[in-house]
Chains A and B, each alone.
Chain A
Amino acid sequence: MRFHGLHAATLTVLAALAANPAAAKTISVSATTPDANEKLQEALILAQPGDVVQLGAGVWKLVDGLSLDVAGVTVRGAGAGESGSILDFTGQQGAGEGLLVTSDDVFLTNFAVLNTKGDGIKSKGADRIVYHQLRVEWTAGPKETNGAYGIYPVESSDVLIDSVFVRGASDAGIYVGQSKNIVVRDSIATENVAGIEIENSFDADVHDNIATKNTGGILVFDLPSLPMQGGHNVRVFENIVNDNSTPNFAPKGNIVASVPTGTGVLVMANRNVEIFDNVLADNGTANVMIVGYRYAHKDPKYQPLPRAIVVRDNMHGKAGYAPAFEGGAQIAAAFGGAIPPVLWDGAGDAVVLDPVGVLSLNLPDVATPRDQAKPAPADLSKGTPAAALPAIKLPEAMEAKVR
């Protein structure tokens, strides 16, 4: 093992040297520098590939959003906790997010982003980005006036989100959109509308996370009229998804504003989604919900049904005791106080092997209004699950960054 470890370390150093023939340097910026906002932004602009921008410890009072457009840069703070490097955007006057990354091979680690007016950290078209040991938080807790997304990679290939903490997002704490080859792991999402959301994306593993006290814990969505759609191949496993009981505080009009309070894992209009080995408990509407996209749309290429969904080997605690959708209370009463832990609108196809009940609303056509639901227990254990999806493999250089 010792030799193995040494060997790996040597390889990492060699790889770094090969990738960065010019000596990489560290640019340190202090939170107490006069014009810290401008100095930090300058550092992010002047950094060269391979450089580290080192954020000093302390509270940075920032008024304008930051951005990074240089490939291969590391932004490293002194920690994401109270004594770490805290980028405080409470007084933000401009920009749609706290930090915007638009370059490839960026590593963000060990700092906090607080109280942005819009999104927390966004990366767009930023391939092989690594988010690691970060905190993005709206410190007053759930409020409709909080920003939409905490951690927000979009239009990217190879995304790693590892050991982050996100709280208070008025849309999704961790939101991955229109991306491919994604891992979200070992992270905590709490008191957001959606804890973790994978939307219009292909090939994602969401595992070993805790999604608690959100409105909905983990969402896998596909929406129409977007450049990338047809979301598929998502595995949600070994997560703890419990007590997602925060009343929905999303601004209306946004799709997550329709997520019922008390939702554990929600799949909408995706195909080949596997939900397994999770602990699912205390979600008042349902531990697992599988639905079609039931809004009018004019996108002939869009596929609104959930297909080839597999639910297996999960541990189910209490669920369905406060179904927060129209008519939910009456249905629960009819079922003796709680609906079954798995809720399906009846559209598309799913296999549920967990030995718990499934409630179908029997609305196979997504054009049928919800008020025509005919709720009844359903047995989805007879179907044959699609072949198991392979694990997501990220480039080794990304894994090396967090090792």
Chain B
Amino acid sequence: MRRAFATLAAALCCVSGAATMTAPTVDQAAIEGEAIPQKLSAFGFGMTAGGYRPMAAVGYTLRTPLFSDYADKQRFFYIPTGREARVIADGTIEFPVGTVLFKSFGWPDHNGGKPVETRLLIHRASGWVALPYIWDADGKDATLALGGRRVPVTFKSPDGETHSIRYAVPNKNQCKECHSKNGVIEPIGPKMHNFRVDLIGTQEAPPIRVRGIPARSVAMPIWDDRASGTVAQRARAYLDVNCAHCHNPAGSASNSGLFLRWTDDPTGVNYGIGKRPTAAGRGSGGMDFAIAPGDAAHSFMIYRLESTDPGIAMPEVGRSTVHKEGAALLRQWIAEMPKASH
């Protein structure tokens, strides 16, 4: 059955202009209308907490994912019949109106691995909308949580430590804080340099046809795979994915002057090297520079990544736990930089 769904999904997403079959229950009017359904089931993707693969959708993973309290994230995209996505020059995948991106958040050792929440990014004619749904106790459906919510969660991180946190399901506005470019919502993850189609349950090569894939696309390293890049390259991939959605000239942190995209000059002051705090407040931790080359202990970027205090912590939303392994990579990167001459 899974296999059948995957094949169907693949077929749907590569059809162009042909009026072929539509998944029997997906409610395209609910997707493209302006209403905000109270229940996830209203979209007709046939999802439950135990089976949260949306009907007619294709799975994907990211080479380097955003850290979210060690949550295990399951990502899918759905493109309606007869439409297609296309890749533009910078690797951004432009999805057509009617697309839904799904991301479910759970932990293998919490509630039997069932997700706590599923977030939808829906491309409507008026633009993208971000909607958070929290799974009901019986797991049969999920309910809209526009205002966000704190959910108690207990899990073990890879180092064996047990964490009991009040996991923050973001509210609709917080979705936008990260998913914002010049004040308009857009997807973050699906960029060709970080994107991998993952047809769970099939052995076939992904028959995804998305228009305009560059002949040779340069992939970002996988942050925790040493074979995929140097420490510096992996650190930059980590910063791109975990920080640059806000820290870019059109993002929520544009005023900081700290820009951490994969494409930014990694030696410049605007990348944090020798950069004094702008509006960091307590986030400076009494230090002079975001990155003091060769001296991670005096780099307040590390201080902020290793804090969970809301007045200090970065990123500002989506993290109640320190990502020790990510911080360790950045520490190593800074430690290996030649010290500044002055």
CB within 8 Å of B: which residues of A?
A: 37-42, 44-46, 63-65, 67-69, 92-96, 100, 102, 116-119, 124-125, 144-145, 147-149, 152, 154-155, 170-171, 175, 177-178, 223, 225-228, 251-255, 295-299
Contact = CB atoms under 8 A, between A and B. Distances in A.
B46 interface: no
B282 interface: yes
Contacts of B275: 225
A64 B168 contact: yes
In the A-B complex, the 4 residue pairs with the smallest Cβ-Cβ separation, listed nearest first, are A148-B281, A253-B284, A41-B147, A117-B311
A294 to B, nearest CB: 12
B285 A299 contact: no
Interface centre among A119, A124, A225 (most CB of B within 10 A): A225
A255 B276 contact: yes
B173 A68 contact: yes
Interface string B233-257: 0000000000000000100101101
Contact of B310 (A94, A100, A145): A94
Interface in B64-105: none
B287 A118 contact: no
Given A69-B173, A96-B310, A251-B286, 11 more contacts: A40-B147, A45-B147, A67-B177, A94-B168, A145-B311, A154-B255, A155-B254, A171-B281, A225-B275, A252-B286, A254-B280
A227 B310 contact: no
B59 interface: no
B176 A64 contact: no
Interface of B: 145-150, 166, 168, 171-174, 176-177, 180, 183, 249, 252, 254-255, 257, 268-270, 274-289, 300, 309-311, 316-317, 320, 342
B146 A118 contact: no
A64 B320 CA distance: 12
Given A170-B281, A226-B278, A251-B281, A67 B171 contact: yes
A2 to B, nearest CB: 44
B269 A299 contact: yes
Q: How would you classify the secondary structure of chain B's contact residues: helix, strand, loop or mixed?
A: loop
A352 B280 CA distance: 34
B285 A118 contact: no
Given A38-B149, A96-B310, A118-B311, A253 B280 contact: yes
B173 A102 contact: yes
Nearest to A299: B269
A41 B168 CA distance: 14
15 contacts: A37-B147, A38-B148, A44-B173, A45-B172, A64-B150, A67-B171, A93-B320, A94-B317, A95-B310, A102-B183, A148-B279, A149-B281, A223-B276, A251-B282, A254-B284
Contacts of B166: 93
A7 B283 CA distance: 51
Contacts of B300: 253
Nearest to A226: B257
B287 A252 contact: yes
A117 B277 CA distance: 18
Nearest to A228: B255
Contact of B279 (A92, A154, A295): A154
A45 B173 CA distance: 7
B177 A46 contact: no
Contacts of A149: 279, 281
A100 B316 CA distance: 12
A95 B269 contact: no
Contacts of B280: 148, 251, 253-254
Contacts of B172: 45
A46 B300 CA distance: 37
Given A38-B149, A225-B269, A147 B311 contact: yes
A118 B310 contact: yes
A114 B183 CA distance: 28
A295 B277 CA distance: 13
A259 to B, nearest CB: 14
Contacts of B310: 65, 92-96, 117-118
B273 to A, nearest CB: 9
Given A148-B282, A253-B286, A295-B276, A227 B316 contact: no
Contacts of A68: 173
A94 B149 CA distance: 11
A124 B269 CA distance: 23
- In this complex, the member of B172, B255, B289 whose beta carbon has the largest number of chain A beta carbons within 10 angstroms is B255
Contacts of B276: 223, 253, 255, 295
A141 to B, nearest CB: 16
Given A38-B148, A42-B146, A67-B173, A96 B277 contact: no
Contact of A145 (B147, B257, B282): B282
